[in-house]
A = this chain, B = another copy of it.
Amino acid sequence: MGVTIKDIAKAAEVSYSTVSKALRDSPLVKEPTKQKIIKIAAQLGYQPNVAARSLVSKKSHTIGIVWPTIERVTHSALITGLNKRLEELSYTTLISINDMEHAINTFNRYQVDAIVAFDERNSQEPANSTVPIITYGIAHEESPFPTVDVNRKQAVRAAVNYLTEHGHEEITYIGGMTKVDHLQEEKVNGFLEAVQENGIAASSVVIAVEDLESYDGYEAMKKVCAAQAVPTAIISGSHDLSKGILRAVHEKGLSIPGDVSIISYDNIPATESFEVPLSTVGVPLHTITEKLADVVMRLISEEKVEQNIYLEPELKITESCQTRRRS
């Protein structure tokens, strides 16, 4: 029951090949004819059949996204953003929440033009995909695919450096520490390296949290407050953790930044809606999606792409930080 170019051709009293050209805005069609055809197409509610189109063009104008961990909220905003950006570039996204191999099979059938994989454990085997694949996560040389990587280590280092330069000598990092999640591990490593280099390793602490939920931050911060020596600055490993940390600070009656300065790692916007607008360090979400879409487009047009693409984090300081007098 779908409207095809043949229906339009009949209505406009031209051949269907003329309709095809008119709708693709070809200069081979006279302007008035073109206008007439476009108008009729709109009236009939014509939607081009992607199957037919991709069959002949060998392009589907579709990007596959592998996202096996749909429950992880952190990535949701990322995918939403990427999807929006790709729509702007008139690509459609096909999201698969299966494992890599299964997803690639599906995507091959659909002849997607490229695949973006959010699978953390980027598989070592080259996974026989006929189309370019790009992964988001931790870059390493052996990866068979180009990778876009947020430089998390650098981000946390920047936060530590900033705080040290502003007189802080007791800094506590609250975040995930499981070896499994490399993304979290990188941040911790950045912290440890930086405090070492700045000579404040002795007075610096890492508090490991179970999960990255708001409540975990809350509990961790309560622990921190209970200790005899409260640090002068906190670095939080994620946006959600920061929410909990703020609650704990609030309950304890401490002031920010009077008693404690806080910098939160994140790449989500919306940190401004907090009671205290948080200082943050990380790559803006917009930058990541922009870059991912950009690389995908380059891969599709078969341009060369660097193996590892690092995005540099930005340090955004607000009133949640203040300079510390040496005591």
A interface residue numbers (CB < 8 A to B): 1-2, 45, 47-52, 54-55, 60, 70-71, 73, 76-77, 79-80, 83, 87, 92, 94-95, 97-98, 105-106, 108-111, 128, 130, 213-215, 218, 243-244, 247
A203 to nearest B CB, angstroms? 30
Which chain B residues lie closer than 8 Å to A76 at the CB level?
Answer: 70-71
The answer for the CA separation of A1 and B130 in the assembled complex, in Å, is 7
The answer for the CA separation of A48 and B105 in the assembled complex, in Å, is 10
The answer for the CA separation of A54 and B55 in the assembled complex, in Å, is 10
Q: A247, B51: Cβ atoms under 8 Å?
A: no
Q: A87's closest neighbor in chain B, by CB?
A: B98
Q: B87, A79: Cβ atoms under 8 Å?
A: no
Q: A3's closest neighbor in chain B, by CB?
A: B130
Task: Give me 28 A-to-B residue pairs in the complex whose CB atoms sit less than 8 angstroms apart, sorted by A's number.
Answer: A2-B108, A2-B130, A45-B128, A47-B105, A47-B109, A48-B109, A49-B55, A49-B109, A50-B109, A50-B111, A51-B54, A51-B111, A70-B79, A71-B73, A71-B76, A71-B80, A73-B73, A79-B97, A83-B97, A83-B98, A87-B98, A92-B94, A94-B95, A95-B95, A213-B214, A215-B215, A215-B218, A215-B243
Q: For the complex formed by this chain, how many copies does it contain in all?
A: 2
- The listed residue (B52, B87, B94) touching A51 by CB distance below 8 A is B52
Which chain B residues lie closer than 8 Å to A95 at the CB level?
Answer: 94-95
Which chain B residues lie closer than 8 Å to A111 at the CB level?
Answer: 2, 49-51
A60 to nearest B CB, angstroms? 7
Query: Ordered nearest first, which 7 A-B pairs have the shortest CB separation?
Result: A51-B51, A51-B55, A95-B95, A47-B108, A51-B54, A50-B109, A47-B109
A28 to nearest B CB, angstroms? 24
Which chain B residues lie closer than 8 Å to A98 at the CB level?
Answer: 83, 87
A212 to nearest B CB, angstroms? 13
- The listed residue (B77, B87, B108) touching A71 by CB distance below 8 A is B77
Q: A54's closest neighbor in chain B, by CB?
A: B51
A275 to nearest B CB, angstroms? 13
Output the residue of A87, A106, A109, A243 with the most chain B CB within 10 A. Answer: A109
- The listed residue (B1, B51, B55, B71) touching A60 by CB distance below 8 A is B51
The answer for the CA separation of A76 and B52 in the assembled complex, in Å, is 33
Q: A67's closest neighbor in chain B, by CB?
A: B95
- The listed residue (B2, B45, B110, B215) touching A247 by CB distance below 8 A is B215
Which chain B residues lie closer than 8 Å to A55 at the CB level?
Answer: 49, 51-52, 55
Which chain B residues lie closer than 8 Å to A106 at the CB level?
Answer: 92
Which chain B residues lie closer than 8 Å to A47 at the CB level?
Answer: 105, 108-109
The answer for the CA separation of A98 and B79 in the assembled complex, in Å, is 12
A29 to nearest B CB, angstroms? 22
Q: A110's closest neighbor in chain B, by CB?
A: B50
The answer for the CA separation of A248 and B148 in the assembled complex, in Å, is 41
Q: A70, B80: Cβ atoms under 8 Å?
A: yes
Which chain B residues lie closer than 8 Å to A92 at the CB level?
Answer: 94, 106, 109-110
Given contacts A47-B108, A80-B97, A83-B98, 16 further A-B contacts (CB under 8 A): A2-B111, A2-B130, A45-B128, A49-B55, A50-B51, A50-B109, A51-B51, A51-B55, A51-B60, A51-B111, A55-B55, A70-B79, A70-B80, A79-B97, A94-B94, A215-B218
